[in-house]
Amino acid sequence: MAIARNDLDHNGLIIGVSPERFRAVAMPLLFDHLNAQCEGTIAVNRQARIVWINDKYAEKIGISDPRSVLGKEVEEVLPASRLREVVESGLPSMLDLMAFGDEHFVVTRIPLRDEDGTLVGALGFVLFDRAKHLKPLMAKFNVLQTQLVATQNELAKARRARYTIAGFIGTSPAASEVKRQARRAAQLDATVLIRGETGTGKELLAQGIHNLSPRANGPFVAVNVAAIPETLVEAELFGTAPGAFTGADRKARIGKFEVANGGTLFLDEIGDLPLALQAKLLRVLQEQEIEPLGSNQVKPLNVRVIAATHIDLEAKVAAGEFRDDLYYRLNVLALNVPPLRERASDIPSVIEHLLDDIANRSGQAPMELTADAIALLCNQPWRGNVRELGNLLERAQLNTEGAPLEARHFRPLLADQSQKAAPPAPALIEVAARTDTAVPEEEPAPLQRLAESIALAERRALQSALLACKGNRRRAAIELGISRASLYSKLQLHGLSER
């Protein structure tokens, strides 16, 4: 039915036509107008299968015969289509961007109902003729989209573990055994506790376990618990709700557990985790869910935890400074990383690897060491392990030019490094003076043995303090002028932790 001029009053309103009749006349006209003006039209039924597509739309997306796609689910033809959502919700999507290949279409989607109001399908229109009015917006959208993809790729690279288990240099029985255990741990999705002195390569093994595990494509997030102020540890690990505390962001801040979701979280120096947060960590490990600081919502997680420590956790448990239930939960798979002095046969290989690394970073030719220099380095205690050895080699490179490095080049550096690495506390010197016989001036100890002399004096001082305090470690730490954590570390270093 057409609408004539005499059917309208002076305000343009239809005279004598019911709303239902008007809708019946207007809707086909609206459809014809949109179909003619738009760059494409498609219709789907209640099951989101294509029942009609016009020739312009078919040509635009590379379909030679529109009839060939009839009956197909709309996502088979238009993977980014959201017509199914319109069919399921009954709500229109008036303006949207739909990706198709390298292009983005400006589209509108409306539900389609029969005379009884029953939802029977949906219509989609490509408003591509209006894209010229949206060119500035589209250009900005494309730039932002490109930047977003680039940023996501960079973040993914930053969260990738760089090292493999093979990167743990050495073929000694001790090194081979720890690598065997690490490969075994990679195949099991249980919590791992890596124990070893500072600089032995605990994080390297953690990354290697991650890269060999089924989680290798997920993120690897490393957190040094000791490096975070105690007041911020909870927010750093578990995240915060908006405005959780004074000074907090108005937006929610995700914690490291959420960042590591789907991958591995490496908690270094776990022994320094505040006692108040140990119960919360235990719950996360058991339930695989977190509750951000200041939030009442619990979020599910899928994270594997690898923890590491260089201190005697058993001693901390005995002292009431570490929860025994958390200790048992962490110590499911235990790896004990041997110190460098216990695998002296690996030191030449480690030196070669470190020299190559220094050369790559400095852009200079790799240094060469004489046989007597390597022999000297193999006989050091290396309390700082690989990290200390690498530091010494870099210092030697800065102090020497040209000729291969000999033992004489390293002796002054070893003496200096030993004194700086472990200066004895005044109380420790005093105890050592009471128990040790001074070395006669006419027979000075060789410079290359200075590190062993200091280590021996420290061991005797520890033994004397424990004896004087009848085994009370708290009192012994006070007498020596060091913290209990330092005492436990030194006891473990000298093999006295179980006495």
Give 414-468 pLDDT, tens digit per residue.
887 666 655 444 443 333 334 344 444 444 444 445 556 677 788 888 888 888 8
Report residue 159's pLDDT band, with 50, 70 and 90 as the boundaries: low
Task: Say how many residues make up the chain.
Answer: 499
Q: What is the pLDDT of residue 161?
A: 73
| Cα four-point dihedral sign 138, 143, 145, 146 | positive
Q: Encode pLDDT of 97-109 as tens digits.
A: 788 777 777 888 9
| Cα four-point dihedral sign 22, 25, 31, 33 | negative
Q: What is the pLDDT of residue 445?
A: 44
Q: What is the pLDDT of residue 23?
A: 54
Q: Report long-range pairs for 166-170 (Cβ below 8 Å, ≥24 apart).
A: 166/208, 167/204, 167/208, 168/201, 168/204, 168/205, 168/208, 169/346, 169/349, 169/350, 169/353, 170/343, 170/345, 170/346, 170/349, 170/350
Report residue 26's pLDDT band, with 50, 70 and 90 as the boundaries: low
Q: What is the pLDDT of residue 474?
A: 79
Q: What is the pLDDT of residue 468?
A: 84
As a whole number, mean pLDDT of residues 470-494 equals: 77
φ, ψ dihedrals at 106, nearest 5°: -85, 120
Q: What is the pLDDT of residue 436?
A: 42
State both tokens at 161: 């573990």
Q: What is the pLDDT of residue 202?
A: 96
As a whole number, mean pLDDT of residues 84-102 equals: 85
CA–CA separation, 410 and 421 (whole Å) = 16
The single-letter code of the amino acid at 467 is L
As a whole number, mean pLDDT of residues 105-114 equals: 87
Query: pTM value?
Result: 0.58
CA–CA separation, 360 and 367 (whole Å) = 11
Q: What is the pLDDT of residue 466?
A: 84
CA–CA separation, 327 and 271 (whole Å) = 10
- Residue among 390, 389, 381, 328 nearest 493 (CA): 381
Lowest average pLDDT, out of 288-297, 353-362, 409-418, 425-434, goes to: 425-434
Q: Is the pLDDT of residue 322 over 80?
A: yes
pLDDT greater at residue 472 or residue 274: 274
As a whole number, mean pLDDT of residues 323-350 equals: 94
Lowest average pLDDT, out of 133-137, 305-309, 352-356, 483-487, goes to: 133-137
φ, ψ dihedrals at 307, nearest 5°: -110, 160
Lowest average pLDDT, out of 39-53, 244-258, 469-483, goes to: 244-258
Q: Is the pLDDT of residue 7 over 80?
A: no
Please state, for a pLDDT cut of 70, what percent of the chain lies above it.
78
Lowest average pLDDT, out of 6-10, 87-91, 227-231, 358-362, goes to: 6-10
Q: What is the pLDDT of residue 479?
A: 80
Q: Helix/strand/coil (H, E, C) string of 408-423?
A: HHHHHHHHHHHHHHCC
Report residue 214's pLDDT band, with 50, 70 and 90 as the boundaries: very high
